[in-house]
Amino acid sequence: MKMTIAGVEINFGERGRMKWIPISQGLQVFLKNGETLKFDPQELSPETRELAMRHGLKQKLADGCSANDTADQDEATIRKQWEALKGGWSTRVAVDKDETLAKAVAEVTGKSLEEVKEKLKAMKPEEKKAIRANKKIAEVIDRLESEGVEAIDDEDLENLF
């Protein structure tokens, strides 16, 4: 679902209720009810800011692990994310659409990730597109992709407003 809030078009997806965007003074959240809230971490005590930073870092490092099948896959995902973060917060880890599709299919069907990847390798792009269009698969893909989504940077955000 798309809405325009404060002159900005926001895509909430089918089930989303909020969109968080980093701004130079902290965070801004657009809510599906039309409200916009801003949060400045400078209003928090240093101890609370430190705890929030650690929580956010944990969340960022764990992005993409939810559909992994093994601790080895988790380790690889976390290490890849850490290396990307060392290059800067806005550095993106490239999203492999077939990898995301494989994780979604594995989650929905209960098949192993390796088995699904092998079957997907043999499929034509049209077949993969049809699988992505399945409602259950699309919902999982949406969730998986939103877990690792990089928000626009402050300069782009300023240009929007």
Does the pLDDT value for residue 139 go beyond 50? yes
User: Is the model's pTM score more than 0.95?
Assistant: no
pLDDT recorded at residue 34:
86
pLDDT category of residue 94 using cuts at 50, 70 and 90:
very low
Q: Contact 8/28 with Cβ under 8 angstroms?
A: no
- d(CA 37, CA 31) in angstroms, rounded, equals 8
More confident residue, 91 or 157: 157
